[in-house]
Amino acid sequence: MAKLPTPQMLMASRPELPKESWLDTKPQFAPGSYCYSEKKETMELLHMPNPHDWDPSAEDWNLPENWEQILCDAFEERLEKHRSLKLFMDICVRCGACADKCHFFLGTNDPKNMPVLRAELLRSLYRRDHTMLGKLLGKKVGARSWDKQVVKELFYYAYQCTECRRCSLFCPYGIDTAEITAIVRELMHEVGLGTHWIMDPVKNCSFTGNHLGIKPHSFKEIVEMLADDCETVTGIRPKTPFNEKGHEILFITPSGDVFADPGIYTFMGYLLLFHELDLDYTFSTYASEGGNFGSFTTFNMAKKLNAKMYAEAERLGVKWILGGECGHMWRVVNQYMATYNGPSPANMVTPKSPITGTVFKNAAATKMVHITEFTADLIRHGKLNLDPSRNDHIITTFHDSCNPARAMGLLEEPRYILKHVCNHFVEMPENTIREQTFCCGAGSGLNTEEIMELRMRSGMPRGNALRYVQQKYGVNHMACVCAIDRATLPPLANYWAPGVNVSGLHELVANALVMKGEAKRTMDLRQEDLPNVDADEAEAEEGR
C-alpha cells in the first residue's frame, strides 16, 4: 500500500550526498528562473546567426545540426581575438576569493553561481581543446566535452550574472568574470540562443533609436509632455531642442527615462537644470538611447549601437557629449568605445564646462562627461541656487550603480551632489557600497518581469542592506545614477524594504533647484505636495 511521505521527505530538497559530481548536476528550468527566448523574426531582422524558434523549458532547443562545430570554432576564434579571454582561462588558480562575493550566489546559494564555478563551466570546455593536460587526462583534470546539456547549463548561468564585476574586485589576478559571461552569451548567440527582453530593445535601438521603438516625432512629443509637467511644477517650461545642428553639447541618456516611472522625473530634472543654465545643447532622436543593449549580446552588436553616439556628434557638429545617469553605458564608453569606434570625430574637443570653465581632462579620450561630474562641478563653483530643505521629508541613502562605481570610479561626485540637495543622508553598510556595491540584481538585460523571483533573490543582498538602514535610521529614500536601477530598485525595495522610494539623483537636484523666475514650489516633480509649504501660502499662490 502506498504511504504518505514523511514531513522530512517533503522538506528535504536534496539527498544527503548528491549522486553526481557538480559538473554533472544540471539546472532545472523552473518558471521564474529563466528569461523568455527571443523571436525568430527579430533575430532574422538583425542578421543574427542561426535564428530559430525555441523554448528554454523544452527538452529540445532545436539547435542547428552542426552546433558543436559552430561553438568550438566560435570559442577558438574568440580566444585568438581577445588575449584577455585566453589569460582568464589560464590563470585562475581557483583560490575562491570571488566565490562568496556574487549577489546571485548569496541569494540563490547555488554553487554554480560562485563566479569561479560559473567560469569553470566554460573553462572545463577550454581545457579539453586548448590545454595539453586536458587533452591527455580529460575529466581527471576537470576537462569535459560539449553536449546539449552543457549548452543549456551555459545559457542558464550566463543569464544569472549581471556582469556587475563585484567578483573581479576581489580576484587577486583581476579576472573579469563579466567578460567571461559576455563571451558565453556571445557563444550562445552563435547557435541562435538569446532572450526576448534583450533582443527586442536591440532591434528597436537599431531601427528607431530608442529601446521601445517609438518613432522620432512621437519620442519628441513625449519629451514635450514632460516639459509641460515641468511647467506645472515650476511655472517654467524648459526648452526641448531636438536634432539641431551647431550646438556645443549633445546630451545622451537612456531612453527608459523618457518612458518609465520613476525615471521620467530624473529626465525632467535634466530639462530644468539645462534650462536654468541656458545650456547650449541638443537631444538626438537617432542617438536617443545611452544604454547599449548590444553589450548584453555580442561585441559586434555593442559596437554597432555604440557607433550612433559619435556618428550623431559628427553630424550635428557638437564639441562634446554630456551623458545622463546610466550604468553600463559608462562601462561601454570608458572601456570599449575607443576600441569599437574611436577615435572621436575631428569636430569634438576635450569637454570644457561652459558655465565654470572646468576642463574635464579625464574625458579627453572619450569626449564624454558624466552628468554628475558636470553638476558636482557646478555646485563646487557655486553656480546653482539650491534649497535642500525642500527635500527635508527625505532621509536618503545612495546606491552605487555597479558600472559607474567599478568601471569609472564615480564614487564621490554623486555623494557630493546628494549632500548639497538633501539634508539627511545615510550610508548603507561599508561592505555594500562604493567599489563593493551590491548589484540591483537585474542589470545586463535581466530586468524582465518573468524572472521576478530570481531578481528578488539576486537583489536580496542590496535589499537586505537597504532594509537595515531603513530600520536603523529611518531611511525612506534611495538615490541612484542608473536607469536600470530606477526600473529594478522600486520592485526590490517594495519587496525587501517596503516604504523606501527610489529616484535618480537629478530628480532631487531639480526639486532643490531654485530657478530664476520660478513660481513658488508647492509640489515636487512627482506632483506630490511638499510637506514644508505653508497651506495658506500655497493657496494664495494658486489663487494668484
Partner 1 sequence: MQTAKLLANLKDSLTEQWTQAVFASYPEKSLPFLKTQKDPFANPVASMIREAAAVLFDALAGQDMDVEKVKTALDRFVKIRAVQEFTPSQAVGVIYLLKPLLRKQLLPEMQKQLDAYLEVESRVDSLALLAFDMYMTDKERVAEIRVTEIRNQYAQLKRWAQHLNAQAPLGEFAGCGQS
What residues make contact with partner 1 under the rule CB under 8 A? 7-8, 10-14, 17-18, 22, 28, 30, 33, 99-100, 105-111, 212, 214, 218, 221-222, 225-226, 258-262, 264, 429, 431-432, 449-450, 452-454, 456-457, 460-461, 464-465, 467-468, 487, 490-491, 494-496
Q: Which is nearer to partner 1, 131 or 494 (CB)?
A: 494
3-state secondary structure of 443: coil
Closest to 386 (Cα-Cα) out of 240, 474, 518: 518
Cα–Cα distance for residue pair 368/311, rounded to 1 Å = 14
Minimum distance of partner 1 from residue 403's CB (angstroms): 21
Q: Which is nearer to partner 1, 450 or 541 (CB)?
A: 450
- In SS3 terms, 367-432 reads as CEEEHHHHHHHHHHCCCCCECHHHHCCCCEEEECCHHHHHHHCCCHHHHHHHHHHCCCECCCCHHH
Minimum distance of partner 1 from residue 443's CB (angstroms): 15
Q: Which is nearer to partner 1, 107 or 192 (CB)?
A: 107
Q: Which is nearer to partner 1, 61 or 265 (CB)?
A: 265
CB atoms within 10 A of CB 124: 19
First to last CA, the chain: 85
Closest to 48 (Cα-Cα) out of 74, 69, 72, 29: 74
Write out the three cell numbers for 259: 518612458
Q: Which is nearer to partner 1, 201 or 351 (CB)?
A: 201
Cα–Cα distance for residue pair 356/378, rounded to 1 Å = 7
Q: Which is nearer to partner 1, 191 or 465 (CB)?
A: 465
Q: Which is nearer to partner 1, 268 or 515 (CB)?
A: 268
Minimum distance of partner 1 from residue 380's CB (angstroms): 32
Minimum distance of partner 1 from residue 264's CB (angstroms): 6
Closest to 459 (Cα-Cα) out of 104, 32, 101, 34: 104
**CA-to-CA separations, 149 to 27, 68, 110, 351, 425, in angstroms, rounded:** 9, 12, 18, 51, 49
Minimum distance of partner 1 from residue 28's CB (angstroms): 8
Helix axes 196-207, 299-316, angle to 10 degrees: 30
**CA-to-CA separations, 424 to 390, 419, 470, in angstroms, rounded:** 11, 8, 13
Minimum distance of partner 1 from residue 286's CB (angstroms): 20
Minimum distance of partner 1 from residue 48's CB (angstroms): 24
